[in-house]
Amino acid sequence: MDSVTCLYYLRLIESPKISVQAFSRLLGEFGSAKTLMELPRSKFQKLGFDDTQIDLLQGSTIEMARQASTEAALRWADKDGNYLVCYESQHYPSLLREIECAPPLLFVQGLLGVLGERHFAIVGSRSATLYGRRNAYWMAQELSNAGLQICSGLASGIDSKAHEGALDSGGKTIAVIGTGIDRVYPSRNARLADQIVESGALISEFPLGTPPYPGNFPRRNRIISGLAMGSLVVEANIKSGSLITARLAMEQNRDVFAMPGSVASPQSRGCHYLIKQGAKLVEKPADILEELAVVDQCPKIASGKTCIEKPEVQSNAASRLVALEAIDHEGCVFEAIHDECGLSIQELTSQLIQLEAAGLVRQQGGRYFRLT
């Protein structure tokens, strides 16, 4: 994208006089900065813009108060691995361009090519249980192996484990953040952010230096769901921001998936609510791959097997019995059950889900309790 166009975008997203919603609506209707700058004033007046806004939209005036931040953004984009991706750029994700209020400009750090991949979102609670973190990691790992690129929000809990699962599988992942691209929130995820940049990308729509205002994160969520073919909520309470992501995905006509959990766990209530509202219940990665028609593109499935390791163990009653016998009525943490039964993490996670569904085990507060 040429420097004149990038400068135009930067000036408008930096200006408080032009809202993101208004700018996005104009781009959706007219397509490019060049077209907007050439529109007659009468057209903007009919659309309800005042003279100050029209001057900005036609590029005939510059807000000097925003000049320093605009120049800083251009200097940032001159560094290797940093990109400004405008709405009309060929690198702008096509699915994201389809949503209502698509971000006019993306700050991207990492590999530009990952924007064009097939994305799948995994989101959930910041205060995730061990059960939720294990499942997020497992799902991200298997879906990455099947060729999907995991997208999440770099938050603590489910988001972090989703990114880690994708990275550990050798896949790529995108983190959409609710701050300026030059800030990492939470700060404890700085190392994870560096790892993501090496093989994927960080994305933000916010100007450089933007702090983590609470209102930024619901805005950020529309980008996560908008990038993705579908979204999976692994664990969430009933007031979780992940339910906002799910609602936005539904409004964007994207598939929404949810993992069930214990009826006694507050962190499962959001997922159960989504399932009642029509989200697709997920017990294993193949449920998602089949729904998205990715199955045929996965080598293990194409050869007559499933993308999940050792599916025959997951359907084996003997394995479920081994997992059940490792759990007592007083409660056991996942690691203790894992050490006792000798199953792989993926196998054990699947068995625990099946045992909960059968009413034989209850998960609460990060511990599993035997009910029979």
Task: Report yes or no on 107 lying in a domain.
Answer: no
Cα separation, 18 vs 33, whole angstroms: 14
Q: What is the mean pLDDT of the chain?
A: 88
The pLDDT-based confidence of 310 (bands split at 50, 70, 90) is very low
Residue-range definition of the domain harbouring residue 289: 113-302
Tell me: do 252 and 143 sit in the same domain.
yes
The last residue of one of the domains, among 275, 302, 329, is 302
Tell me: do 317 and 266 sit in the same domain.
no
Helix (H) or strand (E) holding 290: helix 285-291
Tell me: do 204 and 58 sit in the same domain.
no
Task: Report yes or no on 159 lying in a domain.
Answer: yes
Task: Report yes or no on 105 lying in a domain.
Answer: no
Tell me: do 185 and 231 sit in the same domain.
yes
Share of the chain above pLDDT 90, in %: 69
Number of domains in the chain: 3
Task: Report yes or no on 84 lying in a domain.
Answer: no
The predicted structure's pLDDT at residue 301: 38
Q: What's the whole-number mean pLDDT along residues 142-160?
A: 96
The predicted structure's pLDDT at residue 313: 33
Task: Report yes or no on 1 lying in a domain.
Answer: yes
Tell me: do 53 and 120 sit in the same domain.
no
What is the CB neighbour count within 10 angstroms for residue 159? 29
Tell me: do 225 and 320 sit in the same domain.
no
Tell me: do 248 and 140 sit in the same domain.
yes
Strands, E assignment, 35-194: 82-86, 105-110, 119-123, 149-152, 173-176
Tell me: do 156 and 289 sit in the same domain.
yes
Burial class (CB in 10 A: 0-12, 13-18, 19+), 95: middle
Question: Residue 278's domain is classified under what CATH number?
Answer: 3.40.50.450
Q: What's the whole-number mean pLDDT along residues 42-52?
A: 94
> Which comes out higher in pLDDT, residue 355 or 43?
43
Question: Residue 359's domain is classified under what CATH number?
Answer: 1.10.10.10
Cα separation, 186 vs 155, whole angstroms: 7
Span 311-358, pLDDT tens digits:
333 335 656 678 888 887 767 778 778 877 878 887 888 888 888 877
What is the CB neighbour count within 10 angstroms for residue 372? 9
Tell me: do 49 and 160 sit in the same domain.
no
Task: Report yes or no on 95 lying in a domain.
Answer: no
Tell me: do 320 and 254 sit in the same domain.
no
Span 185-225, pLDDT tens digits:
999 999 999 999 999 999 999 999 999 999 999 999 999 99
Rg (CA), the chain: 23
Tell me: do 19 and 119 sit in the same domain.
no
The last residue of one of the domains, among 279, 302, 325, is 302
pTM above 0.85? no
Least confident interval from 132-141, 269-278, 350-359: 350-359
